[in-house]
Chain A
Amino acid sequence: MKILNEQQLKSISDATFKKTADIGLRHAQENSIYIKKTIRDLRKEIVNEPPKPVIVISAGPSLHRKKSIETIKKADFKGCIVAVDGSLGHCLRNGIVPDFVVTVDPDAHRIIRWFGDPRLSERPEDDYFQRQDLDPALNKDEVARNQELIDMVNYYGPQIKGIVSTSVTCEITQRCLDAGMNLYWWNPLYDDYESKDSLSKKLYRLNKVPCMVTGGNVGSSAWVFSHTILNAQDVLLVGMDFSYPPGTEVRNTQYYEILQELFPGKPEKGLIEVYNPHLKETWVTDPAYYWYSQIFIEMSQKSPCKTYNCTEGGILFGGNIEFVNLKEALFQVLQTEES
């Protein structure tokens, strides 16, 4: 597939709205009984603290390939760590307890796996976790790894603040509460709040929870949270690939099942090649990931923070994003802090 044009990007945007708005609203109604604090409260709690730099730990394959967690541990980083749900297990397994974990996807069965799923044996058959590259530790011994994750999340949960979107299932809410997390809620901004019949406005008036721009996925939402609520002036991204390394089998990509259905016998036809001039490599991506990258670039130009993409892989470059090695970015940020 060729690089997507404006019209095609809009098609993905419209499709995502159709796919997630109704279910997100339904989950928001179900979650309303759990809402005690919101990201507005968090903002007030930290208003007198000086802004700290933030590392957003997303779950792309470079997180493992580049051993980003090891580099972070070696640095004397005193800022905040914001993990996405998909990277929580990898962080805990490798000795980093994030300050915050962000979750947003309304999927009914898969997302809870990132927190350790107490009902794993009851789920529909799904080989997603054996194929995915977001947390390769879950590729094998699924049951044992799931139990290990349940135990770790339960142990460290009280130290982690959950930045939970009203769009997630109540099962995720309950799982985070059972693990002892302190939850701060937010609504995804689904549409133009000034338009007639706006869903976002309807939702806000129902639960009075602030609506935050998402960027279409949890990693981008974590970045928005970092500069909007934590007021970070420097945000470092790791594991934000939005793509797959050269040579990745199409079977190991996120949309494999759909691509197989759409392009029988040749699912790789649904993938897009993107050349990264910083890496001098061509990475492959799928339409949704490509959409994420284009949105992120657009958002970066409107954001007040400085964004360092320290993924050391992937297709997120351009706009107001500095594509830089993690060690170098950490050095730059630490120097700024000291001065």
Chain B
Amino acid sequence: MSKFLRGNYKLANSEKLDHDVKEQEVSQIFESKALEKLGGSIAFVMKSSKFLWDEDEDSK
């Protein structure tokens, strides 16, 4: 009897789980693509607490 029960069908729940994971992946990929398009006006970076970098002046 066990050979008929083993692996010859899929649980409804696991199918739903697979579907959910895929949906989540698609949504994450979509979101990261979306964020790439929604960039700001100009690049931003900040090193420690320095608001101005003026190499020649700084080295004086």
Contacts and interface: CB of A to CB of B under 8 A. Distances in A.
A210 B31 contact: no
Contacts of B30: 262
Contacts of B34: 262, 270, 287
Interface string A10-49: 0111111111110010000000000000001000000000
Contacts of B51: 212-213, 224, 227-228, 299, 302-303
B46 interface: yes
A24 B45 CA distance: 15
Interface residues of A, number: 64
B45 A189 contact: yes
Given A210-B53, A210-B54, A302-B49, A215 B38 contact: no
B42 A24 contact: yes
Across the A-B interface, give the 3 residue pairs with the lowest CB-CB distance, nearest first: A16-B39, A15-B39, A210-B54
A204 B53 contact: yes
B24 to A, nearest CB: 13
Interface residues on chain B, size class: 20 to 34
14 contacts: A15-B36, A15-B39, A16-B41, A17-B45, A210-B54, A212-B51, A213-B44, A214-B42, A217-B41, A229-B52, A262-B30, A270-B34, A286-B38, A288-B40
A166 to B, nearest CB: 11
A242 to B, nearest CB: 11
Contacts of A1: 31
Contacts of B36: 11, 14-15, 18
A211 B53 contact: yes
A105 B41 contact: yes
B5 interface: no
B56 to A, nearest CB: 7
